[in-house]
Structure 1
């Protein structure tokens, strides 16, 4: 099988999903996208178009390139994480872990999402998945809400087959940095997950995303906190990173820390994302969003099966998530090697970091966790008005699990600020050496 054939095949990892073959089916890019034309969601699927075209395996070369032995998207120099078999398998494990953190659901606030997506006789409900990756979230939403239209957008094609397209789901290749005007006022639910590394102007992108909501629609922001944490005596503490300034620290956080510095050097506003979601949340987005509907949350995912509970169901839950996340991170810190090499680190150095990180993941001595930032809010009915009231929606318990124990919701901006201060109380302020930030010799 050649590389183009590999790229077009589904890569759903059955083991972490526990899915039947039929449940594991994924979808495909719409065949109706035309070059150079903006996309508009409408009632006729044959008229849907996108900024970029994907029609066949022969077109794949337009969207990918090889960098230091990994396949990378060809549309943006901003986002350099891979788009290949290993990365797809990693992202599927990551997706499963996040869904387990939502107690088996695809999204936070299920009562609100279900009420918004309830059929109301006013045309189809519409769902937008930005940064769709492998497409698995969009596909599962299309199955859960068969009356809704689902659109997934990403920088690179997903590993999907045409004959597995649900009739209510399609995908587009696009760079959201270019704007989302063609999607304005069209979606009831917008899900945007793990895209910050590729965003050049986070405030503008946030406004663009919120403009794509219909009045009363909800946005779901899900982003990684690239600092790692240690769980000690029931408390989450910043995991001190190893460097020339602190040789006794943990090596596990180093690749993620350097990834953040590297994408910032390349023009990303991943640091602005962190500041916005951890200090402002969505409460300050009052031009479009109703602050009374805004909340934030933290989800902590253990990196290894070290977490336990007196409740045997919770213990099994945490063990499974930890096992998946250890696999995810072992692959993830190698996925950033091309990016780190581009910004001045040598292959020898990044290999050393990865080897040390693997040792720490296997020993689990630090009880390390990855934190996921989450924020949501609904669009106002019109300027200066609250979001419209929601109909009562019966929430199915199908697919839900016991409450995930490391999930915390913040009802106010003040709570978010207090939690951020407490979480970062041990975070150092001095940056370690970087080859592109080194001071010149005196």
Structure 2
């Protein structure tokens, strides 16, 4: 946890929660208040567990100790917990986090090589005076209308040889066994998911956009594009195996602590809380766009919470971690372009 709850004076209040206010009001669909900041810090722990405590998977080869005076950008930084921890691990790097809301700790509470800027990475012209060696963004699936334009901006603002990495969930649920698939078909969580898709489409947004990222990085000119995966625990907990019929390149995040493996149980415990804490604030902004009343939304959210906590629901959420490198010279094609098939 960052240990801070920072109110943004530019916020507006709706339904007892605060959201991004006069600066790009309505673009971000989750709250920005203290409860949401706690949830974002908790979600950071989900990522730490999924990535075996790593902050990144891109192969940042920055030379010998002390030779790490590099420029790093974190897009959609939230509470700033990722750049704070990256700054602490890389004291020679200059790390900046950007977000629509200024909900990050004050300068005297963060490492001296860490700073924060209010910015809309999609709509604004970037004002950074440096080319970055590494650009990171995480859980941005709902934030942009045109993710490809953001990827192109990232490419243009990297130095040759610099890396970009996206870590994101897909708004899917994948059953680990036939019994769960049958339950999911008529469940409240599946209905909620469908209504969320409908509501987001009215904004021109795709909650499963991460599945396109590897191709879009290649299209933008990135080389050495990789999509990383881990093994998923089978439903009886007796072994681990890749889920070939889905996509062997995907990380899999348990919906709740249903697996028997201790690591997956811990991930599922955090992720269950992460989802439950986000349901109300996100649904209140999106589901009216799918034609639902406030009363219908409240009733559905309560049923979805029960589904999320049901450990008979052996389900995963796919996770995509994708990174690529800007070539040293020109666009892709001037170097060997190694990418996923």
* TM-score exceeds 0.5: yes
Could you tell which deviates more after superposition, 203-212 or 155-164? 155-164
Which 5+ residue runs of structure 2 have no aligned equivalent? 229-249
Answering whether residue 198 of structure 2 is matched by residue 258 of structure 1, we say no
Aligned alpha-carbon RMSD (Å): 2.9
Contact conserved, 1:180 with 1:208, CA < 8 A, in 2? no
Deviation at 1:259, TM superposition (A): 2.9
Secondary structure of residue in 2 paired with 1:99: helix
Contact conserved, 1:130 with 1:191, CA < 8 A, in 2? yes
Deviation at 1:134, TM superposition (A): 1.2
Partner of 2:88: 143
Partner of 2:235: none
Distance in 2 of aligned mates of 1:25 and 1:362? 27
Secondary structure of residue in 2 paired with 1:167: coil
Deviation at 1:355, TM superposition (A): 1.4
Partner of 2:307: 360
Aligned residues: 315
Cα–Cα, structure 1 residues 264 and 105, in superposed 2: closer, same or farther, change >3 Å?
same
Partner of 1:230: 175
TM-score by length of structure 1 reads: 0.65
Runs of 4+ in 1 over 4 A off after TM superposition: 24-28, 117-121, 237-242
Answering whether residue 36 of structure 2 is matched by residue 84 of structure 1, we say no
Deviation at 1:257, TM superposition (A): 3.7
Secondary structure of residue in 2 paired with 1:178: coil
Distance in 2 of aligned mates of 1:153 and 1:219? 15
Q: Please give the per-residue CA displacement for 1:140-177, whole angstroms capped at 9, x wherever unaligned.
A: 00000001001000110124234212100000111112
Deviation at 1:386, TM superposition (A): 2.7
Deviation at 1:263, TM superposition (A): 2.6
Q: Please give the per-residue CA displacement for 1:296-350, whole angstroms capped at 9, x wherever unaligned.
A: 1322111211112xxxxxx221111111111111112212122135413112211
Distance in 1 of aligned mates of 2:98 and 2:256? 31
Which 5+ residue runs of structure 1 have no aligned equivalent? 1-11, 13-23, 29-56, 243-248, 309-314, 388-410, 415-442
Distance in 2 of aligned mates of 1:239 and 1:208? 43
Deviation at 1:224, TM superposition (A): 1.8
Partner of 1:371: 318
Distance in 2 of aligned mates of 1:27 and 1:332? 17
Distance in 2 of aligned mates of 1:193 and 1:168? 21
Bigger radius of gyration = 1
Partner of 1:335: 281
Q: Please give the per-residue CA displacement for 1:399-442, whole angstroms capped at 9, x wherever unaligned.
A: xxxxxxxxxxxx8533xxxxxxxxxxxxxxxxxxxxxxxxxxxx
Distance in 2 of aligned mates of 1:68 and 1:117? 51
Cα–Cα, structure 1 residues 258 and 296, in superposed 2: closer, same or farther, change >3 Å?
same
TM-score by length of structure 2 reads: 0.83
Partner of 2:227: 296
Contact conserved, 1:138 with 1:151, CA < 8 A, in 2? yes
- Which residue, 270, 277, 281 being the options, matches 2:213? 277
Cα–Cα, structure 1 residues 226 and 258, in superposed 2: closer, same or farther, change >3 Å?
same
Contact conserved, 1:27 with 1:169, CA < 8 A, in 2? no
- Which residue, 322, 329, 335 being the options, matches 2:268? 322
Deviation at 1:116, TM superposition (A): 3.5
> 1:126-137 to 2 correspondence within 5 Å?
126-137=71-82
Cα–Cα, structure 1 residues 104 and 232, in superposed 2: closer, same or farther, change >3 Å?
same
Deviation at 1:204, TM superposition (A): 1.1
